[in-house]
A and B are shown apart, each in its own frame.
Chain A
Amino acid sequence: MTRFKQGCRTLRFPRGKPPVLPARYRGRPIVARKEDSVDLGKIAFIPDSGIRHSNDFRMGASRREDLMLKGDAEALAFTLNKRITKMFGRSLKLRQVSAGGCNACEADINVLNTPVFDLSRFGIQFVASPRHADGIVVTGPITRNMKEALLKTYEAIPDPKIVVAIGACAISGGIFSKSAEASKGLDALIPVDLYIPGCPPHPLTILDGFLRLIGRLKNG
């Protein structure tokens, strides 16, 4: 009976119109002047930074320079990698490593496994062992104490492999970039194939990024 009452709760996304998030949600910034730019990989998406935010959740990018949002950009650029879409487009197994994250990014990655987002319907799955994985998802500012474990996990994943950096901390060190205990971004250590900015990114931002990476979301 309880099961019957619960009904089907899975989002239609990516089919149909994208879901609309509340007005206060701070998504992709609005850069008013043409000559200005905002680095999505560095900002903490706070209300009192002087940056105006739209409620557009689409922010993933495959190249670091695409996170530099310029005033004249219509939408965020996403450069497709044909090799990745061909190889992992229908099945992608990922190993997540938290390297100093505050657990907010981790929590919203976990949410993708709830019936609402149901990540496995896209052939994407988080696995326990790096030996079973096609790629690694990293959160947190890569603390000094976690660096070695992270690199060992990366090495344990068989080639070819992809790397995803989720959250401001993993992309640039975020608010911890001044700390001696933290690093200044994952791509200084290993090459990154997908950047998902946010503090933390909304689960839809993460899902949108994953789907773009594997070529399941081509337009818009």
Chain B
Amino acid sequence: MELFNGGHVSLRDIPVLSEKEFRDEVLLGCQKGARLANLFGSPEGEGGVRLIAILGLDEESELRILSTKISAECPRYKSLAKELPQAQLFEREIAEQWAITPEGHPWLKPVRYHPNYRGVPDLWQDVAQRTIPGAYPFYAVGGEEVHEVGVGPVHAGIIEPGHFRFQCHGEEVIHLEIQLGYQHRGIEPMMCGRDLRQGVLLSESIAGDTSIGHSTSFCEVVESLAGCTVPLKAQAIRAIALELERLANHVGDLGALGMDAGFLPTSAYFGRMRGDYLNLLLELTGNRFGKGLCRPGGVLFDMDVSMADSFCRKLKCYKKEFEEVSDLLFTRPSVLARFEGIGGISPKDAKNLGLVGPVARASQVEHDVRIDHSSGVWQFYHVPISLAATGDVYARALVRRQEVMRSLEFLLKFLPSLPQGEIFVSPGPLKTETLAVSLVEGWRGEIMHVGITDSQGALCRYKIKDPSFQNWFALTLAMRNQEISDFPLCNKSFNLSYCGHDL
């Protein structure tokens, strides 16, 4: 069954395959070049679960959706992870959320340490009672001269919690394993029900630095389920806010990279410039992270011609400043020596792991939702894709720099020709027993929300996928055979979300 970004489909029309057919279809699809964009469970009937896979056919701008049923009597299926590495975390998530065993999974352990949603015994005993710090199995490397370094959950800076376990030989990292779940707030079950107002507030707090990205995605799911068309002006304002969010974060990331390479002036300058974009969001939405802007049916804040003009004037200045400071960063031999050849990810690995966003594009994977699955104003405005080939820290920095320039160019072109009209329509009731999907290219990459309604038109399953969910594994791969002292730099070059992963 084919579906487009922002589309919806009746649950009855999603093909239900046998477990073997499902498995073969997913594997074959991915062999032919599709991505496993999502794989999740949804409750069905008496204690049963329907596994739903969404394949991303990026070149065709399509999503293919297929499913299989897992009965309450036999909660198991044959794991895909060995043949399809990008399935590994999805399968662990399903195992934890629905207590379904993926047989033959290479490294089956909990993701977020919470009780399952089916109300049956968990696959891991007392997973819900145990507090996680320290209480998890790690892949250990043997040998007399091998030592282990454990970091977290409380880190040195003002950042979110997570545990990192390094297996080292001298300075060299042989293996890194990351255990997250500390930020788990139970957002997915809280999204269900009829309270769409609570839903949109939660979506703004999935990852605060991606408030616009996630709330846009939530709104698009609800709008698709309600069959309402959002006014063009509202779509335009969402796109402007999304790009401001991208600008703020990319500029901040470049500053953080400067800091970890030991080049402090760029860190101070970029750190301040990041605030300029957040202040534009504040001017538009009343909140530095854009909370309160997107609501199902449109946006709550309008942008008039004088505001668009003033944004344009400011952005022209910011563009010049950005060019100057990024030239300063990218032309210093001491900075380049720290960036180049560190934490490389090959294009093949990037594809195999299903990486998304700037991390994937730095490894030459041509995938950007704004281009591949365009919706809203992206159907009329083409933003060129930013690619790099080497997959190292340098490439990830370079992609961010290019994307900053392209977002600025887009805004400078788009703001003077802002469409006029309404900014909000009432979305109306949701269709019953329907699934809707929305993709948004957040600054970290592809955000995917899937909403499913029950026979009364209330949300009965809500699936959120932050880009970090797929990209965390890339960090562990990037650290192989690197020096442990390069970890902070490597980590910053990914800058993944803990709370977006933990939900």
Q: What is the interface of chain A, defined by CB distance below 8 A to chain B?
A: 2-3, 5-6, 9, 21-22, 24-26, 44-48, 53, 96-111, 113-116, 126, 128-130, 140-141, 143-149, 153, 175-176, 178-182, 199-200, 202
**A101 vs B465: C-alpha distance when bound (angstroms):** 18
Q: Chain B residues with Cβ under 8 A from A96's Cβ?
A: 158
Pull 14 A–B residue pairs with CB atoms less than 8 Å apart, ordered by A.
A24-B285, A46-B201, A48-B197, A98-B159, A103-B160, A104-B291, A105-B208, A106-B208, A111-B271, A128-B157, A145-B183, A146-B161, A175-B201, A176-B190
**A143 vs B114: C-alpha distance when bound (angstroms):** 11
Contacting residue for B132 out of A101, A103, A145, A182, CB 8 A: A145
- Contact between B300 and A143 (Cβ–Cβ < 8 Å)? no
- Contact between B292 and A48 (Cβ–Cβ < 8 Å)? yes
**A126 vs B113: C-alpha distance when bound (angstroms):** 30
Q: Does more than half of chain B's interface fall in helix, strand or loop, or is it mixed? A: loop
> Of residues B132, B154, B187, B284, which shows the largest number of chain A Cβ atoms within 10 Å of its Cβ?
B154
- Contact between A145 and B184 (Cβ–Cβ < 8 Å)? yes
Say yes or no: A104-B205 contact (C-beta < 8 A), given A24-B301, A145-B132.
yes
- Contact between A44 and B201 (Cβ–Cβ < 8 Å)? yes
**A108 vs B157: C-alpha distance when bound (angstroms):** 13
- What's the nearest-Cβ distance from chain B to residue A118, in Å? 10
- Contact between B328 and A2 (Cβ–Cβ < 8 Å)? yes
Nearest 5 A/B pairs, CB to CB: A104-B208, A102-B208, A24-B286, A128-B156, A181-B186
The reply to whether the CB of B153 lies closer than 8 angstroms to some CB of chain A is yes
Q: Chain B residues with Cβ under 8 A from A146's Cβ?
A: 153, 161, 182-183
Say yes or no: A46-B292 contact (C-beta < 8 A), given A116-B272, A143-B185, A181-B186.
yes
**A198 vs B497: C-alpha distance when bound (angstroms):** 21
**A181 vs B157: C-alpha distance when bound (angstroms):** 25
Q: Chain A residues with Cβ under 8 A from B445's Cβ?
A: none
Q: Which residue of A lies closest to B280 (CB)?
A: A22
> Of residues A44, A100, A109, A143, which shows the largest number of chain B Cβ atoms within 10 Å of its Cβ?
A143
Q: Mark B262-292, 1 if CB is under 8 A from A, else 0.
A: 0001001101100100010011111111011
Q: Chain B residues with Cβ under 8 A from A200's Cβ?
A: 208, 288-289
The reply to whether the CB of B420 lies closer than 8 angstroms to some CB of chain A is no
Q: Chain A residues with Cβ under 8 A from B291's Cβ?
A: 44-46, 104, 199
Say yes or no: A116-B275 contact (C-beta < 8 A), given A25-B286, A100-B499, A175-B202.
yes
Q: Chain A residues with Cβ under 8 A from B157's Cβ?
A: 126, 128
- What's the nearest-Cβ distance from chain B to residue A202, in Å? 7
The reply to whether the CB of B18 lies closer than 8 angstroms to some CB of chain A is no
- What's the nearest-Cβ distance from chain A to residue B323, in Å? 11
- What's the nearest-Cβ distance from chain A to residue B151, in Å? 12
Q: Which residue of B lies closest to A148 (CB)?
A: B131
**Interface residues on chain B, size class:** 35 or more
- What's the nearest-Cβ distance from chain A to residue B52, in Å? 24
The reply to whether the CB of B207 lies closer than 8 angstroms to some CB of chain A is yes
- Contact between A101 and B208 (Cβ–Cβ < 8 Å)? yes
Q: Chain A residues with Cβ under 8 A from B498's Cβ?
A: 103
- What's the nearest-Cβ distance from chain A to residue B273, in Å? 10
Q: Chain B residues with Cβ under 8 A from A104's Cβ?
A: 205, 208-209, 211, 289, 291
Q: Which residue of B lies closest to A137 (CB)?
A: B158
Q: Mark B177-201, 1 if CB is under 8 A from A, else 0.
A: 0000111111100100000011001
Say yes or no: A141-B185 contact (C-beta < 8 A), given A2-B324, A104-B211.
yes
**A51 vs B184: C-alpha distance when bound (angstroms):** 30
Q: Which residue of B lies closest to A10 (CB)?
A: B272
- Contact between A47 and B286 (Cβ–Cβ < 8 Å)? yes
Q: Which residue of B lies closest to A46 (CB)?
A: B292
- Contact between A103 and B207 (Cβ–Cβ < 8 Å)? yes
The reply to whether the CB of B400 lies closer than 8 angstroms to some CB of chain A is no
Q: Chain A residues with Cβ under 8 A from B268's Cβ?
A: 6, 114-115
- Contact between A106 and B282 (Cβ–Cβ < 8 Å)? no
Contacting residue for B186 out of A99, A180, A199, CB 8 A: A180
- What's the nearest-Cβ distance from chain B to residue A52, in Å? 12
- Contact between B208 and A114 (Cβ–Cβ < 8 Å)? no
Q: Chain A residues with Cβ under 8 A from B284's Cβ?
A: 24
- Contact between B114 and A181 (Cβ–Cβ < 8 Å)? yes
- Contact between B185 and A100 (Cβ–Cβ < 8 Å)? yes
- Contact between A48 and B131 (Cβ–Cβ < 8 Å)? no
Contacting residue for B133 out of A2, A100, A149, CB 8 A: A149
Q: Which residue of A lies closest to B279 (CB)?
A: A22
B295-327, CB < 8 A from A:
295, 300-301, 324-325
